[in-house]
Chain A
Amino acid sequence: KAGVTQTPRYLIKTRGQQVTLSCSPISGHRSVSWYQQTPGQGLQFLFEYFSETQRNKGNFPGRFSGRQFSNSRSEMNVSTLELGDSALYLCASSLAPGDEQFFGPGTRLTVL
């Protein structure tokens, strides 16, 4: 069974641009969560989706948004990029909320 897939793996953007990151969960998994990992702030929770509904949201500005599709694939979008948005963005999937989460390899975003 394939693991969690995240695309693209690496991304370089400039300040003010917007970016969309994609996450394909493990087949059969319906719950997807997103985390931001930076050297300074560590791993921080962004959002959680289950059955196309956002169940929980972390303490991030409104520039960060996400959605989940009917096939459980998820995207997150960051608008008006800032230098501080440079980070590794990790997606995790599980069968349902509270089940073991399996993490993807992440998308490394660099904002110049």
Chain B
Amino acid sequence: AQSVTQLGSHVSVSEGALVLLRCNYSSSVPPYLFWYVQYPNQGLQLLLKYTSAATLVKGINGFEAEFKKSETSFHLTKPSAHMSDAAEYFCAVSGFQGAQKLVFGQGTRLTINP
């Protein structure tokens, strides 16, 4: 079974500051990990995914995440926040290649202060 915990339901940073959104996972098999972003009144958009290749994964819009097996973590970072990054972010896990079912964390709402 898989589960995801996102630490912090709300994160607020200043424009230009580092963004760090935390995600810890639990999985009985090697996980496939994902970060999605959701803007108001829209569906989810994939930011990046880890599928057992490089542990540092680069995604769209300047985001990246590092898979740390020893810490069972997959934290999302961006060096410099932009106002357009304000949204809700979801970390998700699936159990194996070919698995369609995603198990999501509760989400983190990111606010950017001018």
Among B41, B43, B99, B105, which residue has its beta carbon within 8 angstroms of that of A104? B43
Query: From residue A31, how far is it (CB to closest CB) to chain B in Å?
Result: 6
| B67-114 at interface with A (beta carbon < 8 Å) | 90, 92, 94, 96-107
Among A33, A48, A105, which residue has its beta carbon within 8 angstroms of that of B43? A105
Does B52 sit at the interface, judged by CB under 8 A?
Answer: no
In this complex, which of A45, A48, A50 has the most chain B Cβ atoms within 10 angstroms of its Cβ? A45
| A89-112 at interface with B (beta carbon < 8 Å) | 90, 92, 94, 97-98, 100-106
Among A31, A42, A55, which residue has its beta carbon within 8 angstroms of that of B106? A42
Instruction: Count contacts on B: residues with CB < 8 A to the other chain.
Output: 23
**Given A103-B45, A105-B41, A105-B43, are A97 and B100 also a contact pair (CB < 8 Å)?**
yes
Does B44 sit at the interface, judged by CB under 8 A?
Answer: yes
Query: From residue A96, how far is it (CB to closest CB) to chain B in Å?
Result: 8
Q: Are B97 and A45 in contact (CB under 8 A)?
A: no
Q: Which B residues lie within 8 Å of A98 (CB)?
A: 94, 96-100
| Chain A residues within CB distance 8 Å of chain B | 4, 31, 33, 35, 42-45, 48, 50, 55-56, 58, 90, 92, 94, 97-98, 100-106
| Chain B residues within CB distance 8 Å of chain A | 36, 41-46, 49, 90, 92, 94, 96-107
